[in-house]
Amino acid sequence: MKPEPHHEIAALLRTQQPDPEPSPGLEARILRELDRRQQRKPARIWPWLVFPPAFAALVLVLTQQRPELKETEVADLPVKIEEEKAENLLVEQNPLRQESVALGRDARRAGRFLIDCLPFAGAAER
Amino acid sequence: MLARLAREGSSAAFGMLVRRYHVRVFAFLLALTKQRQDAEDLTQETFLRAWDKFHRYDPAQPLLPWLFTLARRQSIAALRRLKPLPPELPEVAAAEPTHAALRLWELARCELAAETYSALWLHYREELPLKEVAAILGKREGAVKVMLHRARKALSERCRGPANFSQPPPLPEPQGFLP
């Protein structure tokens, strides 16, 4: 077998080797950390077992305590539409005035429509 | 046997493995990091990692190279989140080695790059074959061979010929903790 180059260095390195020692407490430190980690694992499981049923029970209790809404209370009340002051737009001098009144009406109608579209809390129970 | 038990989840068996191997893992990490405190912290992290990932260990293979591989990965991860050490850390004054071989090891520690020194450590101290050294360091076998050759050459030149091996030149100023 071909000797490795600078074999005298290799031989010298093999004759005696350093033996570094760690701090005396290192082994205990590792084992302690290991124990701590093992104890921590089951502690992570119990919140998953406890919290979801507790949350569900809370929701159930809250929904049962809420007062029943009467049928006519919110949804079926006729929406009062305020009467607009009658204006004689035909004799209005400013032509933009008609436009602004028309746009204002459109905006109010669209707003009312969007509000009517919003779901309300008791909709699902009905 | 112990490794097999530890793989099945026996913490007692794993404790025995810690007792058996922690010094050698620490020594390898010291070669890699050249910092005593870092090496101790990384030894702890390596064993905790080993416990978490023991199901990936192949019991047909020797355990120590697997631990060395984990240790090296831990040291790389630690390097990524490296915070510079305070400059005025109290250093422990170590006795100067008297034996020529120990002086040569000390010279290697001070002169060689950490990766080269760790390759030297694994091959000459742990007596691992080149193939395993390469696997641990994540390199090809040829690259490790070249690295070791250059290390021996550098040390040989530093010692200025075989006649001076009994008394290698004075060591440079130590840069970290002595093992």
Nearest to B22 among A4, A5, A30 (CB): A30
Render pLDDT for A65-95 as a digit per residue (tens, 0 to 9).
Answer: 766 655 555 555 666 666 666 666 666 677 7
Chain position carrying tokens 């407490």: A25
Give the per-residue pLDDT at B89.
Answer: 46
Helices (H) and strands (E) in chain A, counts: 3, 0
The answer to whether residue B176 scores a pLDDT higher than 60 is no
Please answer yes or no on whether A31 and B159 come within 8 Å at the CB atom.
no
Is residue B146 within 8 angstroms of chain A, CB to CB? Answer: no
Render pLDDT for B107-147 as a digit per residue (tens, 0 to 9).
Answer: 898 889 989 999 999 999 999 999 999 999 999 999 999 99
- DSSP classification of residue A119: -
Nearest to B40 among A22, A34, A37 (CB): A22
The answer to whether residue B13 scores a pLDDT higher than 80 is yes
Please answer yes or no on whether A12 and B47 come within 8 Å at the CB atom.
no
Nearest to B156 among A6, A31, A35 (CB): A6
CB < 8 Å to B159, chain A: 9
Nearest to B124 among A13, A19, A29 (CB): A13
Give the per-residue pLDDT at B99.
Answer: 80
Render pLDDT for B16-65 as a digit per residue (tens, 0 to 9).
Answer: 899 999 999 999 999 988 888 989 999 999 999 999 888 888 888 888 99
- Which two structure tokens, joined as six digits, stand for B99? 């034996």
Residue A23: closest C-alpha in chain B: B40
Residues 6+ apart with CB under 8 A from B131: B141
Is residue B137 within 8 angstroms of chain A, CB to CB? Answer: no
CB crowding B143-174: b at 16 or more within 10 Å, else e: ebbebbeebbebbbebbeeeeebeebeeeeee
Q: What is the ipTM of this complex?
A: 0.72
Please answer yes or no on whether A12 and B26 come within 8 Å at the CB atom.
no
**Nearest-CA distance from B77 to chain A in Å?**
19
Q: Which of A6, A21, A41 to mutate to test the interface with B (most CBs of B within 10 A)?
A: A6
- The pLDDT confidence band at residue A7, using thresholds 50, 70 and 90, is confident
Render pLDDT for A87-100 as a digit per residue (tens, 0 to 9).
Answer: 666 666 777 888 88
Choice between B90 and B107, residue whose per-residue pLDDT is larger:
B107
Please give the Cα distance from B177 to B108 (Å, whole number): 14
- The pLDDT confidence band at residue B76, using thresholds 50, 70 and 90, is confident
CB < 8 Å to B179, chain A: 18-20
Please give the Cα distance from B30 to B9 (Å, whole number): 29
Residue A112: other Cβ atoms inside 10 A? 12
Please answer yes or no on whether B149 and A16 come within 8 Å at the CB atom.
no
Q: What is the pTM of this model?
A: 0.61
CB < 8 Å to B40, chain A: 22-23, 26
CB < 8 Å to A22, chain B: 22-23, 26, 39-40, 43
- Which two structure tokens, joined as six digits, stand for A116? 């009517």
